[in-house]
Chains A and B, each alone.
Chain A
Amino acid sequence: MNCDFVLTTCPYCGCGCNFYLQVIDGKAVGVVPCKTHPVSKGTLCIKGWNAHQFVHDEKRLTKPLIKKSGRFEEVSWDEALDYTAKRMLEIKEKTGPDSFGFLSSAKCTNEENYLLMKLSRGVMGTNNVDHCARL
């Protein structure tokens, strides 16, 4: 049996509280506030205390999906990414880079925002990239 406590940043508001996800045999079973963290100091709000709950929700998406004749079908990662790359490059070719837009996310990491931004600017060739800071 393995029981680990993994220090991480709360996925909700911008305060930046940290907590430990308690992981028993590969499953996130609970949240323990981090007492030494400079922002949260051992406390959390109700969202933080329950931040493990949606992780294992059975409604999570687990397979790449492509809509074929109006219905989603499960496909392999290779198929999903090949198809996505092909369609994006086709659009770039046909109607130009600025006919495509990227919506990044304040719920993703810095690294992920950087990569989406780089994909937009460096690969598609458009500055049409934004996120919901305004919303």
Chain B
Amino acid sequence: MIDKVRQLVVDLLDSGRADAVLALANVHANVQPYLYKKGDSLDSLALWPKYSMGPILKSIQAAQPDMKLAVVARGCDDRALVELAKRGQIDLNNVQIIGLACTADEATECECANPYPANIDVGNKVDGVASTDLLAELKGKSYDDRLIFWKQAFDKCIKCYGCRNACPLCICEECILEDDSWVKAGEIPPPFPIFHLIRAYHLSDKCVECGECQNSCPMDIPLTSLYALIRNEFNELFDYIPGAEIDRKSPLVTSLEEDPIREETA
């Protein structure tokens, strides 16, 4: 698999179809994001563990908007790029996507239901993770028990903002969570449930299922499960998967005629 990615990267760079390719590299015995340019050795190329490519691509485009970029993108990266483009954060016209399907093991580790990009260049489509024990358990809980579950989970929160920082779709220039009038500043754990509910609402039409919020949580809070529930609910209401269709606006900004609420029509 990795050889095929290597070949695609070399082709893009050598042919001049891309000025640089954003991928991962193994350096100092660790895996990191890396911007490959023509002539770079691709021996270091790596695929896993994944890093979120969207925000890095955004920072590169901001520094040099006319650069012809390519990016090795997994399903979640692919959806993040679409969603970022839709929201004016990046310009996909200048970007070529090398679509990489995740392996079954990788999908399991991420608890990912859709472990493949829209167009697969490398790898084979495998089934996603439909549900987990925790998701089933949470669905079965009463409201009071759920509240206790999340209260206990978020009692560990040290307000690192890692979930927000790592999220490819947290794109507000001024973050309401840092505004003392909304979330009292300087408190650990941050006030419950406002901090986490506001974030959940903001991500309800944006979450692309990358799991980076949980991956970056130093307190092991099961955010992937929280957002899996939210994505399902959003989809049930609006038949909408963030990052799936570049031409479709978020139902939260359209009228009822354009995008009706599903429960009603059913």
Interface of A toward B, CB cutoff 8 Å: 1-5, 7, 18, 20, 22, 24-25, 29-30, 32-37, 40, 42-46, 48-49
- Docked CA distance A49–B230 (Å): 26
Shortest distance from the beta carbon of A32 to any chain B beta carbon, whole Å: 7
Are A45 and B160 touching (Cβ within 8 A)? yes
Shortest distance from the beta carbon of B44 to any chain A beta carbon, whole Å: 12
Which of chain B's residues have a CB closer than 8 A to the CB of A33?
Answer: 162, 166, 216
Can you name 25 A-B residue pairings with CB atoms under 8 Å? A1-B64, A1-B67, A3-B63, A4-B35, A5-B32, A5-B33, A5-B34, A7-B28, A7-B32, A22-B59, A24-B63, A30-B59, A32-B56, A33-B166, A34-B32, A35-B30, A36-B29, A36-B31, A42-B49, A43-B215, A43-B217, A44-B218, A45-B158, A49-B160, A49-B162
Given A22-B56, A43-B162, A45-B160: A35 touches B67 (CB 8 Å cut-off):
no
Contact of B31 among A18, A35, A44, A48 (CB under 8 A): A35
Q: Is the interface of A mostly helix, strand, loop or mixed?
A: mixed
Q: Is B159 at the interface (CB under 8 A from chain A)?
A: yes
Nearest to B22 among chain A residues (CB) is: A3
Which of chain A's residues have a CB closer than 8 A to the CB of B158?
Answer: 45-46
- Docked CA distance A81–B158 (Å): 44
**Interface size bucket, B side?**
20 to 34
Q: Is B234 at the interface (CB under 8 A from chain A)?
A: no
Which of chain A's residues have a CB closer than 8 A to the CB of B27?
Answer: 7
Q: Is B154 at the interface (CB under 8 A from chain A)?
A: no
Which of chain B's residues have a CB closer than 8 A to the CB of A4?
Answer: 35
Which of chain B's residues have a CB closer than 8 A to the CB of A1?
Answer: 60, 63-64, 67
Contact of B35 among A3, A29, A30, A49 (CB under 8 A): A3
Tally of A-B Cβ pairs under 8 angstroms: 74
Which of chain B's residues have a CB closer than 8 A to the CB of A32?
Answer: 32-33, 51, 56
The residue among B30, B34, B158 with the most chain A CB atoms within 10 A of its own CB is B30
Interface of B toward A, CB cutoff 8 Å: 27-35, 49, 51, 56, 59-60, 63-64, 67, 158-162, 165-166, 215-218
Shortest distance from the beta carbon of B253 to any chain A beta carbon, whole Å: 29
Nearest to A22 among chain B residues (CB) is: B59
Are A24 and B59 touching (Cβ within 8 A)? yes
- Docked CA distance A33–B161 (Å): 13
Given A3-B60, A22-B59: A42 touches B33 (CB 8 Å cut-off):
no
Which of chain B's residues have a CB closer than 8 A to the CB of A49?
Answer: 160-162, 165
- Docked CA distance A37–B158 (Å): 20
Which of chain B's residues have a CB closer than 8 A to the CB of A18?
Answer: 30
Are A37 and B30 touching (Cβ within 8 A)? yes
Contact of A43 among B34, B56, B60, B218 (CB under 8 A): B218
The residue among B49, B158, B160 with the most chain A CB atoms within 10 A of its own CB is B160
Which of chain B's residues have a CB closer than 8 A to the CB of A44?
Answer: 160, 162, 216, 218
- Docked CA distance A37–B60 (Å): 25
Shortest distance from the beta carbon of B216 to any chain A beta carbon, whole Å: 5
- Docked CA distance A43–B51 (Å): 12
Are A35 and B215 touching (Cβ within 8 A)? yes
Are A45 and B30 touching (Cβ within 8 A)? no
- Docked CA distance A36–B28 (Å): 11
Which of chain A's residues have a CB closer than 8 A to the CB of B166?
Answer: 33
Nearest to A49 among chain B residues (CB) is: B165
Shortest distance from the beta carbon of B1 to any chain A beta carbon, whole Å: 19
- Docked CA distance A46–B81 (Å): 26
- Docked CA distance A116–B101 (Å): 53
- Docked CA distance A7–B217 (Å): 20
Are A35 and B51 touching (Cβ within 8 A)? yes
